[in-house]
């Protein structure tokens, strides 16, 4: 699940890069613990940016923040769903420099899954 989250966030950062010749595109990834029993992952890029005006929509299924989206707006929905399954949360910020930052907070110990929930019902 963590791999799915990271792949989607990094893929978005690369896919939505700034095409200007005057910009040196980058993606920074930071991983650390926050002292509250959580691991914080930050994916920061200087791409085309995303409006924070209605961040709730951003993580909805089929919401496309840009016409460049090739997956029909499902990537960030997958990120939110996988993060929630792990007991974490995801959000969007704009850094003071104007860069896009997605952050994910994961518990250091994922929630226990019911053994019965993993078994198909008959």
Instruction: Give the model confidence (pLDDT) of 18-47 as tens digits.
Output: 778 888 989 999 999 988 889 999 999 998
**Pick from 81, 104, 83, 103: nearest CA to 94:** 103
Tokens matching residue 118: 């993993």
Q: Furthest-apart CA pair in the chain: how many Å?
A: 60
Q: The domain 2-110: what is its CATH number? A: 3.30.565.10
- On the question of pLDDT at 48 being above 60, the answer is yes
CB 82, CB 4: distance < 8 Å: yes
Give the start-to-end residue ranges of the domains of the chain.
2-110
**Pick from 100, 89, 85, 106: nearest CA to 40:** 106
Q: How confident is the model at residue 51 (pLDDT cuts 50, 70, 90)?
A: low
pTM of the model: 0.76
Query: What does the DSSP 8-state code read for residue 21?
Result: T
The CA-atom distances, in angstroms, between 36 and each of 27, 32, 107, 109 are: 26, 11, 9, 12
Task: Specify the length of the chain in residues.
Answer: 122
Residue entry with tokens 């518990």 = 107
Compute, in degrees rounded to 10, the torsion defined by CA atoms 49, 106, 54, 18: 10
């Amino acid at each position: 699940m963590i791999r799915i989250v990271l792949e989607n966030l990094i893929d978005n950062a690369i896919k939505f890069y700034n095409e200007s010749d005057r910009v040196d595109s980058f993606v920074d990834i930071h991983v650390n613990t926050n002292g509250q029993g959580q691991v914080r992952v930050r994916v920061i890029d200087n791409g085309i940016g995303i409006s924070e005006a209605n961040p709730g929509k951003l993580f909805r299924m089929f919401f496309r923040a840009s016409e460049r989206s090739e997956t029909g707006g499902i990537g960030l929905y997958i990120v939110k769903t996988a993060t929630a399954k792990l007991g974490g949360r995801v959000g969007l910020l704009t850094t003071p420099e104007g860069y896009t930052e997605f952050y994910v907070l994961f518990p250091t110990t994922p929630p226990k899954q019911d053994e019965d929930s993993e078994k198909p019902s008959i």
